[in-house]
Amino acid sequence: MKTIHNLVLSFLAVSACIAMAHSQTPPSDDFKPSRLNQPGQEYPQVNSQGYVRFRIQAPQAQSVSATLGGRGGTPLTKGPDGVWTGMTARPEDEGFHYYHLSIDGGVFNDPGTLNFYGSTRWESGVEIPAHDEDFYSMKAVPHGQVQQILFPSKTNGMAVFKTAYVYTPPDYQKSGRKRYPVLYLQHGWGEDEHAWWNQGRANLIMDNLIADGKAKPFIVVMAYGQTNEAFRPGGGARPAAGQRPNFNDMIARTGFESTLTDDLIPYVDANFRTQADQKHRAMAGLSMGGMETHFIALKRLDLFSDIGLFSGGVVTPDDVNAAKGFKDKVKVVFCSCGSRENPTAINANHDALEKIGIKNTAYVSPNTAHEFLTWRRSLYQFAPLLFQ
């Protein structure tokens, strides 16, 4: 017992030292403009450890802060030149992060950065280069196209034409009559059809996988899941006051299922050279998009053969038993999350599925949370499994 006691003490002591060392290491001076800055803008900047520093011109402002940098964000201080500056108190995770500024009690974007739709608004974005960024970088390989489509939609009453983006692989334009499988890939709550090819870099991930021969060329369709409008007060999908949210019920009430199955899939199959059958159609999504995938794909195994849930729950043994013909129809089951989310649940569910004879993949993204590096990596792991 004494040995174990000492071991525990030693572990605690070492952990404390590491924590102190971490907090005491001064931020290194290798700051560079974030890659997501607007053309010519020097700030925000990021360094090799993941610290972010901001610089905002607003000489008469009373208070300026950025929402990045943990709870409470990062307060900025005004210099004698009237310029507000500040640095996150801790390094951020590698990858993409949303944030915005609070200026004198109002919400504004950092004029230095490009904007990305998240939290139901166009937000500022910053990119911490990841040690494994090669897989989502723009490299000297053949590149596919991302196409904006306007597809007619009779459902949901939100618009006569809805917007989606379609990735076609590099050889699509020149391959004559060749037909391709299709992955329907959904964004998370607060985002929209722009997320996967901007924040997610889905097109570059696919270009790189295809160039390396690691994934079959396939089409990726990125549509709006209609969750944001529906989840607003009065939007029809919110639970009544005092009731617990039932996500399946909420997703059902967005109307996205019929947009997808009655409008979008027929449009894509009519306008692109798809392999228009169940075996060559997959669905995946991140967070709320994972829940949509869980809800829609399991109901419609006549349409989808492969399922990916990225930080969006799991396909359980109960799901398998409830979905008629699951074992015959479903070829790929993939569930993932960041190591800072709930990897135990992902791994336990993996084993439970294997036990009832369902081959499946559980993937845990190292040192990431509920954020885009988790999902970029998930797509990178998921895509090679599809349509084999």
For binding to a second copy (CB under 8 A), which residues are involved? 38-40, 56-63, 82, 103-109, 111, 114-115, 120-122, 138, 140, 143, 145-150, 152, 160-161, 166, 173-174, 197, 203, 228-229, 232, 270-272
Residue 11 or 161 with smaller CB distance to a second copy: 161
Residue 111 or 236 with smaller CB distance to a second copy: 111
> What is the closest distance, in whole angstroms, from the C-beta atom of residue 315 to a second copy in the complex?
31
> What is the closest distance, in whole angstroms, from the C-beta atom of residue 379 to a second copy in the complex?
18
Residue 6 or 145 with smaller CB distance to a second copy: 145
> What is the closest distance, in whole angstroms, from the C-beta atom of residue 34 to a second copy in the complex?
15
Residue 268 or 383 with smaller CB distance to a second copy: 268
> What is the closest distance, in whole angstroms, from the C-beta atom of residue 352 to a second copy in the complex?
39
> What is the closest distance, in whole angstroms, from the C-beta atom of residue 6 to a second copy in the complex?
55
Residue 124 or 365 with smaller CB distance to a second copy: 124
Residue 85 or 316 with smaller CB distance to a second copy: 85
Quick one: how far is CA 51 from the chain centroid?
Answer: 22
Residue 63 or 321 with smaller CB distance to a second copy: 63
> What is the closest distance, in whole angstroms, from the C-beta atom of residue 79 to a second copy in the complex?
14
> What is the closest distance, in whole angstroms, from the C-beta atom of residue 14 to a second copy in the complex?
45
